[in-house]
């Protein structure tokens, strides 16, 4: 049976076990996980937080990460500015990026979520409002959510992946992990 690990990747951690090519020491998965034989199913940028799935099964890894399988990924996104219905509608229809039109996204304004504090904290500017969105996408282009929100005039301040398919971050503190069953 395949192993599947749910990991709450903290801000500033690379989605890989080693860091090659940087003169500065950067945090990696090996600073949090000592589980031989598992590898990330997809990536999460160093400046993003949240759910990262790891498995020892190549077919499961492909099913989770490959855009052909259209596995939904849900993000809680703090953006600079106050989202209006026109901006949300553009996200829902798909955004034209340099690498083509994105698939339509689920996009909703949400109340501030009850999340752990980020270290370092998101900059706060008294004169610039911010809000939280819940975005659900079914592809995984490089920095896609950040590029989509920027394209509608809402730069991302904080990005937390909350759900991948049926798996969610519920009950996992930053840096914590748990093993679960595969579907």
Residues catalogued as catalytic: 45
The CA distances from residue 46 to 19, 49, 52, 153, 179, in Å, are 12, 8, 12, 23, 23
136: tokens are 């659900």
Residues 6+ apart with CB under 8 A from 12: 26, 27, 46, 47, 119
């Amino acid at each position: 049976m395949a192993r599947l690990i749910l990991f709450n990747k903290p801000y500033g951690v690379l989605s890989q076990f080693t860091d090659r090519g940087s003169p500065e020491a950067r945090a990696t998965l090996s600073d949090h996980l000592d589980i031989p034989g598992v590898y990330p199913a997809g990536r999460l940028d160093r400046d993003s937080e949240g759910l990262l799935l790891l498995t020892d099964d190549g077919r499961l890894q492909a099913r989770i990460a490959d855009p052909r399988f259209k596995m939904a990924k849900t993000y809680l996104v703090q953006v600079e500015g106050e989202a209006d219905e026109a901006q949300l509608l553009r996200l829902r229809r798909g955004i034209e990026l340099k690498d083509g039109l994105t698939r339509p996204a689920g996009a909703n304004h949400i109340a501030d979520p009850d999340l752990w504090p980020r270290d370092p904290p998101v900059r706060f500017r008294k004169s610039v409002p911010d809000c939280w969105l819940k975005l659900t996408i079914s592809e995984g282009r490089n920095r896609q959510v950040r590029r989509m929100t920027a394209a509608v005039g809402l730069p991302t301040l904080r990005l937390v992946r909350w759900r991948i398919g049926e798996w969610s971050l519920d009950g996992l503190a930053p840096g914590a992990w748990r093993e679960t069953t595969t579907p």
